[in-house]
């Protein structure tokens, strides 16, 4: 079995939940403290041993490419002013990985975004990391899925249990066979209406997919929301072979909506050197708003 060395990071969404901030700036460049959310995703892939990353972008996403490119004028300025720490941070993002880009010309869904990277992937298994989920884990979440793939040789989906009320926000996994954190998938349902499934096991932004997924994405079938859904294609792979889900270890932070973004920023701020000054402010803030 060939080692997984390639990953796709879809970053072509319109970011409508964060308008007007995302009118001109990519949602993926919104920072948690001083680091754009997409950099956390790239760093996870690199920590898992991924060598080549393709980022699927769209219109007005040029800032992502600029962020991971070298900025010679800025680097020279920091060097001349002996700002070593800042220089290291700037150069770190430039040297993280081999990063390539392909543009999704219209927002036709996650399945279509993955399909646009087909030529880059070729005939090998690959990882997918979605930018709305930052995962803090001792072993990178995508590496946990890659390890399961090495055991099973089949596609693996990252999963977490959600509240019953939240099931209609996610792709839901139905399974009747579980071993530890691993589930054999019976059926996948994209954003089911509340009460139509008993499962609360949700797909959570990390995948290892075998190349046969493109056999189904090639059909460009329209699913929920009028888009080409990745979940639908994975379900067809599951019907032909088998797909597993894995409840990965680690804390998952949802930066895809405003509340999740704010709480994630607070969490990371409390781990930083801002904690000592932030705590009294938060205590005062709570008193003022009770």
Residue 59's pLDDT is 81
Homologous superfamily of domain range 6-256: Spore Coat Polysaccharide Biosynthesis Protein SpsA; Chain A (3.90.550.10)
Mean pLDDT of 53-58: 94
Residue 27 reports pLDDT greater than 80: yes
Q: What percent of the chain has pLDDT over 70?
A: 100
Residue 203's pLDDT is 93
Residue 226 reports pLDDT greater than 90: no
What burial letters (b/e) apply to 228-245, b meaning 16+ CB within 10 Å?
bbbbbbbbbbbeeeebbb
Residue 46's pLDDT is 97
13: nearest Cα among 221, 286, 256: 256
Residue 187's pLDDT is 92
Mean pLDDT of 212-224: 86
Domain with CATH 3.90.550.10 in the chain: 6-256
**What tens digit of pLDDT does each residue of 157-192 get?**
999 999 999 998 888 999 999 999 999 999 998 888
Q: How confident is the model at residue 228 (pLDDT cuts 50, 70, 90)?
A: confident
Mean of pLDDT over the chain? 92
Helices 37-47 and 141-152: crossing angle in degrees, nearest 10, is 40
Residue 16 reports pLDDT greater than 90: no
Using CB atoms within 10 A of its CB, is residue 273 exposed (0-12), middle (13-18) or buried (19+)?
Answer: exposed
Residue 191's pLDDT is 87
**What tens digit of pLDDT does each residue of 66-101 get?**
999 999 999 999 999 999 999 999 999 999 889 999
Residue 225 reports pLDDT greater than 80: no
Mean pLDDT of 211-228: 85
Residue 24's pLDDT is 86
Mean pLDDT of 256-281: 93
Higher pLDDT, 24 or 269: 269
Helix (H) or strand (E) holding 166: none
Mean pLDDT of 199-213: 94
Residue 212's pLDDT is 93
Mean pLDDT of 219-245: 87
């Amino acid at each position: 079995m060939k080692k997984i060395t390639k990953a796709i990071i879809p970053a072509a969404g319109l970011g409508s939940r964060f308008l007007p901030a995302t009118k001109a700036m990519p949602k993926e460049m919104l920072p948690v403290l001083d680091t754009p959310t997409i950099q956390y995703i790239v760093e996870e892939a690199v920590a898992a041993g991924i060598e080549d990353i393709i980022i699927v972008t769209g219109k007005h996403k040029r800032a992502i490419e600029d962020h991971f490119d070298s900025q010679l004028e800025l680097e020279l300025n920091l060097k001349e002013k002996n700002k070593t720490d800042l220089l290291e941070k700037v150069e770190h993002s430039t040297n993280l990985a081999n990063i390539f880009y392909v543009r999704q010309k219209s927002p036709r869904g996650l399945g279509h975004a993955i399909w646009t990277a087909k030529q880059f992937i070729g005939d090998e298994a690959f990882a997918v990391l979605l930018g709305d989920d930052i995962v803090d884990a001792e072993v990178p979440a995508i590496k946990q899925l890659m390890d399961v793939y090495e055991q099973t040789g089949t596609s693996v989906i990252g999963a977490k249990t959600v509240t019953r009320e939240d099931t209609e926000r996610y792709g839901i996994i139905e399974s009747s066979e579980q071993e530890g954190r691993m589930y054999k998938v019976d059926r996948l349902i994209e954003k089911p209406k509340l009460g139509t499934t008993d499962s609360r096991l949700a797909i959570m932004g990390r995948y290892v997919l075998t190349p046969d997924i493109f056999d189904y994405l090639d059909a460009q079938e329209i699913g929920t929301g009028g888009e080409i859904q990745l979940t639908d294609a994975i379900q067809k792979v599951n019907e032909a072979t088998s797909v597993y889900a894995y409840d990965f270890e680690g804390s998952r932070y949802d930066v895809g909506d405003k509340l999740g973004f704010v709480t994630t920023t607070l969490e990371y701020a409390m781990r930083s050197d801002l904690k000592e000054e932030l705590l009294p402010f938060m205590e005062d803030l709570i008193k003022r708003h009770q």
